[in-house]
Amino acid sequence: MKQVTIRVPATTANLGPGFDAFGCALSLYTDVTFEETDSGLEITGCDESFTGPDNLAYTAYCAVLSSLSEEIRGVKIHIRTQIPICRGLGSSAALLVAGAMGANVLRGRKLSTQGLLNITNAMEGHPDNLAPAFFGGLTASMVDNGLPVTVNFPLHPGWEFLALVPDFDLPTPLARSVLPTEYDRADAVYNISHGAMVLKALELGDEKLLRSAMQDRIHQPYRKGMIADYDQIQGLIRTTGAAFCLSGAGPTLLCITRNPGLQEKLAGKLGLITQAHWDMLPLHVEFQGARVLSEQA
């Protein structure tokens, strides 16, 4: 039976003010193997609660087959992931991307990557994780006439990324439910101007500019109350000079710096000011997007 394994990188979305628009691929991976069978659905490698037909890799797999008017036969799906689940590092987007790309490869690569992004964006509702998961690197996306348009931006090579990942999750629908549906013009101007500066600061490697540009008035102020010890951790990060933002919808907190040794500076201190346990994951930007790891005809 035909089989393909797809590798998709983790992603951090928003990067502060770029709500639902900016994203960056990072060096953690989800590998998903799809093997066509005569009938039925079998999903392994994940929690029992994710093994039904609502599994995101399977729903994206089916969406692509439907868009190709191809028959949905049986499939075995095996998931191996390093991306923490429901922590704001793109675990859901990785499954959607893997499912879409897996189906497309198994049925003759009829769709382009942009076509797969169009389908998965209609499922996820915003392209900020999906775009860097497909294309790699730092991306900004807009949705125009219902379709996502993505561009890649250059990044200075000297940045170091450190993700602080807590032992509690925060489902994205909950993190979105606390956001206002309308904003003041001043807040819109604040985010537009800060967003432009974030992209330039990341390109230049300007940590001071990035630190102030990463502030946001669209989502972080409304979400931080759901993240234990947010203010204390932000205060600690500020003493190091690193730039800081919520990774996606949280609860992971992302630090970006030009100075090596941030993890060592935070070690010990973090445990003293927090109730939860926070893992520190040093990461780098992944410039390669989703790819075929192996394929058997």
Backbone CA torsion sign across 25, 140, 62, 123: positive
Q: Which of 11, 12, 14, 220 binds ligand HSE (CB under 6 A)?
A: 14
Q: Which of residues 203-262 bind ligand HSE (CB under 6 A)?
A: 219, 248-249
Nearer to ligand HSE, 172 or 257 (CB): 172
Nearer to ligand HSE, 11 or 55 (CB): 11
Give the alpha-carbon dihedral of 7, 154, 164, 125, to 10 degrees: -60
C-alpha pair distances (Å), 176 with each of 19, 20, 170, 220: 11, 11, 10, 11
Minimum distance from residue 291 beta carbon to ligand HSE (Å): 22
Question: Is residue 13 a contact point for ligand HSE (CB under 6 A)?
Answer: yes
- State the binding string over 155-194 for ligand HSE (x if CB under 6 A, else -): -----------------x--xx------------------
The pair of structure tokens assigned to 160 is 């170091």
Residue 33 C-alpha from the chain's centroid? 20
Short-list 106, 150, 119, 118, CA closest to 18:
150
Minimum distance from residue 88 beta carbon to ligand HSE (Å): 7
| Nearby residues of 121 by Cβ (< 8 Å), 6 or more positions away | 127, 130, 143, 147, 148
Minimum distance from residue 61 beta carbon to ligand HSE (Å): 20
Question: Is residue 286 a contact point for ligand HSE (CB under 6 A)?
Answer: no
Helix, coil or strand: residue 104: helix
Nearer to ligand HSE, 211 or 219 (CB): 219
Name the residues that contact ligand HSE, by CB under 6 A.
13-14, 19-20, 126, 128-129, 172, 175-176, 219, 248-249
